Structure 1
């Protein structure tokens, strides 16, 4: 958000303020104040003109400036009603040198998940990508994926959804019983992380997040659910703000990321099958490493460290 416009918005939020008072406080012309007020109105902010001055009467339901307003995290938000892929646009911003930017869209027309799988992104969801330039070695980048999963899980729980994390990048609503899906629950959200860098340094990281928020389950594919289906419609502006603030608080503290991820994990303690490029690993998921890899204890007692793969939760082996 333009810094002067942000200052105008902050002043309006504090109560009635006249145009001349704003101009003097911000050291700009009265015409500039009027232009900023009109720009805010164009972006959906309700700014009333009263005898006592301008008053902020309402904030738009969704959008870039709406999310930035009141956001307690250092992100600039670029909003699109529709975009092919927020990750694609975020990579463009990364190539232009941007940092701590968020690409947010009401819907995606070409969303994708891991391994370029199609990701349904209808209107009403939360589809966003963060552009980051972390000062960490490449081996630490997976922790950003874990931090994003924790942030989304916490925002979902605040919205009333019983959410948990399935390794490595899914937020699910756990199910039990003989008909429970093997993914470990019905999928609520996913995280897709991309990076560019060299062996010892990271140039940029893009963390894409897709959340089935105010979406009908009938519009989703596979074993999926939504915030709407679990707890009713959510204030998407507040949801995005909480997720960004939680992510910002975690991203610089690897220990806190791991502790929070373990506490919210649906996978740890479960019998799993992880399909990797070198074959399947079957056993009990017992931990996650400092680099985000899953530790699986096999039937023979060996511990296998799995860095990447498709994880399925298996039903417990019946006792003889």
Structure 2
């Protein structure tokens, strides 16, 4: 499957107030990793806004060192940026990107939600995910690469869903082609980062929580039951814990870092 660069550019320009694009597009049929290629370009002097796109990855990277299985037919995209953030707030880039992409897809009629911390979900199954990597100097982020994988027409596991098939079952086609999906994702990342920069983490977080599918879910931490009540500005999951003492029920709140617990997916035979 090949991407038509001119169709991507035309779609981006049609949705933007200004026709000058803040991106330099680098499109490939197959790469080992779009994130790695983006880092290579940045190291070679590419300016922030360089975008690497492929429809297949042979060594895709997921969260916490996991492999991201990236068969042909998906959208795998990475954007190199230079954010003005301290290292401790790095996860805000993931929150911003997740909200921005989900919100942009919802504008197109695709009812996407967010599963903490970095997954995009559709009908309870995984549509895509985000991996943000950073370089830090003196506790400041100097460069970052935001990587996104979205299932378009590629095969998916039972816990996944691809957008082309979902649209067929819904008898809808709000996203007509892979080029339009690419444009939608890029515009989503841009709008998310703009919200973070211009409105601040408070506004962004409230919008992220509006689309979070885990609110009210119950999860066990160290054999204690907790209820999801929110997310911290650093991306940690806020849980209200139910615990008994000899006198009364107390409900202390804790937060857990991404990667320490899994909220899981239900498998589907659809």
Structure with more relative contact order (C-alpha pairs < 8 Å, separation 6 or more) = 2
CA distance in 2, matches of 1:269, 1:63: 42
Structure 2 segments unaligned to the other structure (5+ residues): 244-250
Preserved CA contact (<8 Å) 1:166 1:266: yes
Q: Where do residues 108-187 of structure 1 align in structure 2 (5 Å cutoff)? A: 108-174=57-123, 185-187=124-126
Q: Where do residues 22-61 of structure 1 align in structure 2 (5 Å cutoff)? A: none
Measured after TM superposition, the shift of residue 210 of structure 1 is 0.2
Measured after TM superposition, the shift of residue 280 of structure 1 is 7.2
CA distance in 1, matches of 2:228, 2:89: 21
CA distance in 1, matches of 2:224, 2:187: 36
| Cα RMSD after superposing both structures | 2.4
Instruction: Classify the secondary structure of the residue corresponding to 2:42.
Output: helix
Measured after TM superposition, the shift of residue 65 of structure 1 is 4.0
Q: Which ranges of 4 or more aligned residues in structure 1 deviate by more than 6 Å?
A: none
1:311 aligned onto 2:259: no
Q: Bigger radius of gyration, 1 or 2?
A: 1
Structure 1 segments unaligned to the other structure (5+ residues): 1-60, 175-184, 316-320
CA distance in 2, matches of 1:169, 1:280: 25
Structure 1 stretch displaced more, 187-196 or 251-260: 251-260
Match in the other structure for 2:52: 103
Structure 1 stretch displaced more, 99-108 or 158-167: 158-167
CA distance in 1, matches of 2:211, 2:9: 28
Match in the other structure for 2:37: 89
Q: Could you list the per-position Cα deviations for residues 70-103 of structure 1 after superposition, in whole angstroms to 9, with x for gaps in the alignment?
A: 5235121110011111011011122224311110
Match in the other structure for 1:203: 142
1:262 aligned onto 2:213: no
Q: Where do residues 14-29 of structure 1 align in structure 2 (5 Å cutoff)? A: none
CA distance in 1, matches of 2:224, 2:182: 36
Preserved CA contact (<8 Å) 1:64 1:104: no
Match in the other structure for 2:219: 272
**Match for 2:165 among 229, 245, 262?**
229
Instruction: Classify the secondary structure of the residue corresponding to 2:55.
Output: strand
Q: Report the TM-score, using the length of structure 2 for normalisation.
A: 0.79
Corresponding residue pairs, total: 238
